[in-house]
Chains A and B, each alone.
Chain A
Amino acid sequence: MSDAAVTSLDMKPSRRAVLAGTGALVLTVGATGLAGIARSDPATNDVAPNIWVRISVDGTVTVVFPATEMGQGSSTSLPLILAEEMDADWDRVRVEQLDRDDRAYGNPIFGNVLYTAGSTAVAAYFTPLRLAGAQARQVLIRAAAKRWGVAPDSLKTEPGVVINPANGKRLGYGEIAALPDVPTDVPEVTEADLKPRSAYRLIGKDIPRRDAPAKSRGTETYVIDVRVPNMAYASVLRAPVEGETPQSIDEAAARAISGVLDVVRLPDGVAVVAERLETAFAARDALSVTWSERAPARKFDNEADLEAYAQAVARPQDKPAEWRAEGDAENALANGGRVIEAEYRSDYAYHAQLEPMAAVASVTDQGAEVWAGTQTQSWTTRTITDVLGIPADKVRVHMMTMGGGFGRRTALMQEYVRDALLSSRAVGRPVKVVWTREDDLRHGWFRPASVQLMSAAMTNDGTLEAWRHRVATPSVIKYFNPLRWSQVAPKDIVSMRGSESKHYKIPHFLAEHVITERRARIIPWRGIGAAYTSFAAEAFMDELASAAGEDPIAFRLKLLADNPRGARLLERVSEMAGWGRKPSETALGVAFAGYGNTMAAGIAEVAVDRETSQIRVPRFWAAIDGGLVIAPRNAEAQIEGGIVFGLSSTLKERVTIRDGEVEQSNFHDYEILRADEVPEIEIAFEVSDAPPSGMGEAGTPMVAAAVANGFHALTGRRLRHMPFTPERVLAALA
């Protein structure tokens, strides 16, 4: 988050829309990515002080939204940040979805790739958007000053107007945009020119999300809803096992169905294209395909593979990749006083975003127009140019709001987009590909499974001296984004995040990655590595507290002596939950985790039904410090959603793979948390001076350990394999 991003501001104001580059193509149909978000019109007479914002003569302020919206709310919070510094009238702000791979808008945390992931959008764009807003404000002030013949620094702004305090004269932003002689030099702005927090009118106030009305009225348009003229539909029969290809296709029965247009061979499947969606589904079921039977993935087996990871974590073949090290943990463990070890495991997990994968493509001789719901303009564009072998200027993309993302829509090669392109090219019409839930789950890309070996050395008085967190899991980045892997190997933040335990001070510390063989399709999943590494770390921390005979919170506070923000969270959450009461029907468990720079302390109240061996969590408390909070109600919703997501994964979610095939197929055998299972959740924010550090994932990682620790407080037993299914609970109680 350096302010180097200031250099990406276009230094010339322009009378025309800066987004003219998109105009090249083909069809333009009504469906846009976000309800109420405008498209650029190159013919306007707007004032554009930089690439981020335009002011129209009618007073409308158009702000470019460089991320994508999957429910996290940044289509409101990013424009809000710019509007704050600009002193824009929020009711006159329009949000414009960035629909192309223009790295000038790129996410600085991901090397300027257009990429919405890792809870980075607000953190990454916070400074660039404030600078852009401040710069726009300066342009407007200078124009008004010139008009009035006064010094710019004698003027001030209120939302949407420049004011001369000396005589009370006012000029609205739209009136200024209409002036004939807006100065063309754009002032440089630096962080020193930005507002103090105390002057904020929008940030930190309860400004509602822009998309709540459309999403409460059924009028938001997701990619699965897109309908364009002359559109056909495709359903894809996919190879049952990764890496297999269609050998022979008996398509007679499918083609005999009225309304079927074509049967299209894909690299890993067969698409049926039809006039109607229901026809495409029926005809796909009528296909008879012989698949190759030689893919290495036929040997994928979640149980055997997890055993192999367990072997690897105990006796690594190669030196593990160091993730974070302080002092000399190996030496301290070899010579330490009391050494404690435990092995933790976690299974594959599926995103279960409620909108199944879908895409719409229209491929013609001139190029391609594509509607997609993904977390990256860059990789969607790359998928299109790669598949079709055409340059990016022949591609028009519509980034649609998503029915959930959670990491699923981040890959370098997006097979759902590819299939729409190939189907459209085959039939010469626009085609919508719709995955069924069964497709989405059986052909999902998952959170990897892991085996983690935790080792610690404590002195006789119970002081933690050394900690080693060894994670055996594949490299997620290597698989889902090999381009990125070539830049970051062997450090894999997606596989390892959380294991750095950086908020504690431990004298001898080592987190290391035993990079195991990939045995499923894998991709980021909400919380990335922290979804399982924080489970192991924080459940093990509880084991150490027990071994030291100390209260779990007191034990952690000793490690937070240098981290007063973190300590405050633990104290706060312990007050909220009434920590210290004796277990009865329920017991409390604590965890301290978070995500990246956002710290989270959580306490779960845990109950066990002794007849069904089912865990229930009636209440959950959390205290969060994510620095400055941009949109408090949405931040609370994100943390709450993250906790529900984490609890669902903790208690239920598990993908199993046998002979290379995913065994689950829908929500009956891959269950996620339902309304009657959700805890009452209480969340408190400690707003520190730190910059905003992201909320989308911070609620998830703490949950599993808090539940495991509560289970221990209740029963005296440890749960070390996530999810905590009734069978595992029963085994732990035996």
Chain B
Amino acid sequence: MTTLRINGEAVAVAADPATPLLWVLREHLGLTGTKFGCGAGLCGACTVHVDGEAVFSCLTAVGDVEGDVTTIEGLSRDGDHPLQRAWIAEEVPQCGYCQSGQIMRAAALLAANPNPRRDEIAAEMSQNLCRCGTYNRIFKAVARAAKEA
């Protein structure tokens, strides 16, 4: 039994400690907003925060998690984090599958760097793939959120 703090709540999980956090979140706990894209740290669809840092949950063994985990479901109380509002205003999502990971990555970026330049946004966001090609709208939405936050 592993005990985790997820989105502010203590949760006990009966999973082998080597199990990727991704599967614990999605399949044990039903927090399916975090997505599976590659399982190898290459696409960022599984991005969550551990103590505010963006991590690939597909590469994080649940037994190794020490800090507080935040997923897209816990990023804001009513789904109205400045980034989420900006994402809706800029109409970023197409298929939407990458977007939880994009938003979590961007949230960690803005927490560390509230006014990133475009090249800083591009560098950080290039850890997350979007096959639908929404990158330019992601840049706009991050810049909008930085301005409005």
Please state if A354 and B98 are interface contacts (CB–CB under 8 Å). yes
Closest chain A residue to B30 by CB distance? A227
Query: Are A217 and B84 touching (Cβ within 8 A)?
Result: yes
Beta-carbon contact of A640 and B136 below 8 Å: yes
Given A216-B84, A217-B72, A675-B138, is A276 in contact with B91 using a C-beta cutoff of 8 Å? no
CA distance A406 to B26 in the complex (A): 25
A437 touching B40 by the CB < 8 A rule?
yes
- A667 to B20, alpha carbons, bound, how many Å? 19
The smallest beta-carbon distance between B137 and chain A, in angstroms, is 7
Q: A227-B27, A227-B30, A403-B35 are in contact. Are A354 and B126 (CB under 8 A)?
A: no
Closest Cβ of chain A to B94, distance in Å, is 4
Complex contact B37–A356 (CB within 8 A): yes
Please state if A643 and B15 are interface contacts (CB–CB under 8 Å): no
Is residue B111 contacting chain A, with contact meaning CB distance below 8 A? no
B43 lies within 8 A of A667 (CB): yes
Inter-chain contact A218/B72, CB cutoff 8 Å: yes
* Complex interface bits, A404-415 against B, C-beta within 8 A gives 1, otherwise 0: 111000000000
Q: Do A212 and B93 touch across chains, with their CB atoms under 8 A apart?
A: yes
B115 within 8 A of A: no
Segment touching B, from A65-73, A304-312, A377-385, A607-615: A65-73
Q: Contact: B42 with A678, CB < 8 Å?
A: no
> Judging by beta carbons under 8 Å apart, are B35 and A355 in contact?
yes
From 4 to 52 in chain B, residues with beta carbon under 8 angstroms from any chain A beta carbon are 15-16, 19-20, 23, 26-28, 30, 32-40, 42-43, 45
Q: Which residues of B contact A220 (CB under 8 A)?
A: 96
**B79 located at the interface, meaning its Cβ lies under 8 Å from any Cβ of chain A in the complex:** yes
Residues of chain A from 222 to 259 with CB closer than 8 A to chain B in the complex: 222, 224-225, 227, 233
Residues of B within 8 A of A72 (CB): 94
C-beta contact mask, B44-69 vs A, less than 8 Å → 1, else 0? 01000000000000000000000000
CB pair B134–A355 under 8 Å, yes or no, is: no
Residue among A211, A218, A225 making CB contact with B71, cutoff 8 Å: A218
Contact of B132 among A218, A219, A404, A677 (CB under 8 A): A404
- Check A212–B36 contact: CB distance below 8 A: no
A436 to B38, CA, bound (A): 7
Proximity bits, A585-614, B CB within 8 Å = 1, else 0: 000000000000000000000000000000
**Alpha-carbon gap, A88 to B28, bound state (A):** 43
Chain A interface residue number, banded: 35 or more
- Cβ-based interface call for A637 (8 A): yes
- B15 near A278 with CB under 8 A, answer yes
- Which of B45, B72, B88, B91 has the most chain A CB atoms inside 10 A of its CB? B91
Chain B residue nearest in CB terms to A227: B30
For residue A582, CB closer than 8 A to chain B, the reply is no
**Residues on the B chain within 8 Å of A276, using CB:** 15, 23, 27-28
Contact between A645 and B133, CB atoms less than 8 A apart: yes
Q: Is A674 an interface residue (CB 8 A)?
A: yes
A676 at the interface (CB under 8 A from B): yes
Closest to A402 in B: B95
- Interface 1/0 per residue, A621-662 and B, CB below 8 Å: 000000000000110011011111100100000000000000
Considering the complex, give the chain A residue whose CB is closest to the CB of B34. Answer: A218
Instruction: Check if A266 is an interface residue, CB within 8 A of chain B.
Output: no
Contact of B79 (CB < 8 Å), options: A70, A216, A403, A644? A216
Q: Does A714 contact B (CB under 8 A)?
A: no
A497 nearest CB across to chain B (Å): 21
With A216-B84, A642-B133 as contacts: A403 and B23 at CB distance below 8 Å: no
The interface residues of chain A lying within 8 Å CB-to-CB of B33 are: 217-219
Nearest-neighbour CB distance to chain B for A531, whole angstroms, equals: 14
Question: What's the minimum C-beta distance from B134 to chain A, rounded to whole angstroms?
Answer: 7
B residues 106-137 near A (Cβ < 8 Å) are 119, 121-123, 125-126, 128-137
> Are B138 and A672 in contact (CB-based, < 8 A)?
no
Which residue of A73, A218, A644, A666 contacts B38 across the interface (Cβ within 8 Å)?
A666
Query: Closest approach, in angstroms, between the C-beta of A217 and any C-beta of chain B?
Result: 4
A354 touches B30 (CB 8 A): no
Chain A residues with CB under 8 Å of B138's CB are: 675
Given contacts A218-B33, A278-B15, contact A354 B131 (CB under 8 A): yes
Contact A674 B88 (CB under 8 A): no
Q: Is the CB of A667 within 8 A of B96?
A: no
**Which of B32, B95, B121, B135 is within 8 Å of A644, CB to CB?**
B135
For A221, the closest partner residue in chain B by CB is B32
Cβ proximity bits A424-443 to B, threshold 8 Å, 1 near / 0 not: 00000000001011000000
Contact of A216 among B16, B93, B119, B125 (CB under 8 A): B93
* Proximity bits, A199-215, B CB within 8 Å = 1, else 0: 00000000011011111
Instruction: Please tell me if A570 contacts chain B, counting CB pairs below 8 Å.
Output: no
A477 within 8 A of B: no
Most buried by B among A211, A214, A217: A217
In the assembled complex, A325 has its CB within 8 A of some CB on chain B: no
Q: Quick check: is B103 within 8 A (CB to CB) of the other chain?
A: yes
A681 within 8 A of B: yes
A residues in contact with B87, CB < 8 Å: 212, 216
- A620: shortest Cβ distance to chain B, in Å? 10
Residues in chain B near residue A672, CB distance under 8 A = 129, 131
A673 to chain B, nearest CB (A): 8
Interface status of B92 (Cβ within 8 A of chain A): yes
A-B contact pairs, 26 of them (CB 8 A): A71-B95, A71-B132, A73-B94, A208-B88, A212-B87, A212-B92, A216-B93, A216-B103, A221-B32, A224-B35, A225-B26, A227-B32, A233-B27, A354-B97, A354-B130, A356-B37, A402-B95, A403-B98, A404-B132, A406-B131, A436-B39, A637-B137, A667-B43, A673-B135, A678-B135, A680-B136
- 9 extra interface residue pairs, beta carbon distance < 8 Å, beyond A71-B94, A403-B96: A224-B35, A225-B26, A227-B30, A354-B131, A404-B97, A404-B131, A667-B43, A675-B139, A676-B125
The 9 closest A-B pairs by CB, nearest first: A218-B33, A644-B133, A215-B96, A71-B95, A403-B97, A218-B72, A641-B133, A215-B93, A71-B94
